Amino acid sequence: MRATFGQYIPGDSFIHRLDPRTKLLGTLAFMVLVLLIKSFTGYALTAVFLAAVFISAKIPFKYVLKSIKAVIFIIAVTFVINIFFYQGKELLWSWRFIHIYKDGLIFSTKMALRILSLVIGASVVTYTTTSVNLTDGLESLMKPLKVVRFPVHEAAMMMGIALKFIPIFADETDRIMKAQTARGSDFDSKKLIERVKSYIPVLIPLFISAWRRADELAQAMNARCYRGGEGRTRYRVMKFSRLDLIALAVFLAYAAGIILLTYVFTGCI
């Protein structure tokens, strides 16, 4: 099974059975906490927390690696930019106009860990929640916006469809690249211009495929008389359970640890 970010992995684990609203709110709070982390101890605690979540969800470690594969380039660029342009007190290495400081190395490493934590944490929701439940959860959380006439159902539907199409387009891109490689395209060329040119035969059919799938989806929704969220009911009604309370308690323990490390034990590296 080839899993990518945005793809649901079937299961009956503790995390799978949580209310989608619990997972969405937990992910949002987790992202805020990760942005507050200032020490390697905090990132170590986050790594333990994420490992416990993935083990509880019974998601193999190889899927974690696949979820961060798409952001390796972003992490590398962020690391290089910060290590070269962040100035500090203790100079480690210097050559002409390039100066690498100890503080810059530490800061760059923390930024890389932050991005990794955010991506891995966000992937838990999509791995353990179906697109239908995810859409229903988003719509439920955005209900207060109906007061200002915000199209809550339509916005949640668009987000759910976007997440659903991420793994589809990832597989489509992989197939197109393999086909173009068989025709002689070189995606590993050391020349940047040549590499950019080789991606043009990939982007055009991918763009056409996206339009075709969007048209087919629109026709299918019209055939089923879809007219928006007005008056629609649900087959399954979402309810918070004891599992959600247990998950809340575990998350609060993690949050307390991060807050203590950030604002109390400020001497931690």
pLDDT in tens, 60-92: 888 888 777 767 888 888 888 878 777 767 767
Residues 126 and 165: their CA atoms lie apart, in Å, by 12
Residues 254 and 52: their CA atoms lie apart, in Å, by 11
pLDDT at 193: 74
pLDDT at 202: 84
Q: Between the CA atoms of 14, 261, 78 and 170, what dihedral angle is there, to the nearest 10 degrees?
A: 0
pLDDT at 18: 92
- In this prediction the pTM is 0.77
pLDDT at 268: 57
pLDDT at 190: 67
Pick from 51, 50, 183: nearest CA to 118? 50
pLDDT at 1: 43
pLDDT at 245: 92
pLDDT at 5: 57
List the chain residues with pLDDT less than 50. Answer: 1-3
pLDDT at 266: 63
**Token digits for 82?**
């910060």
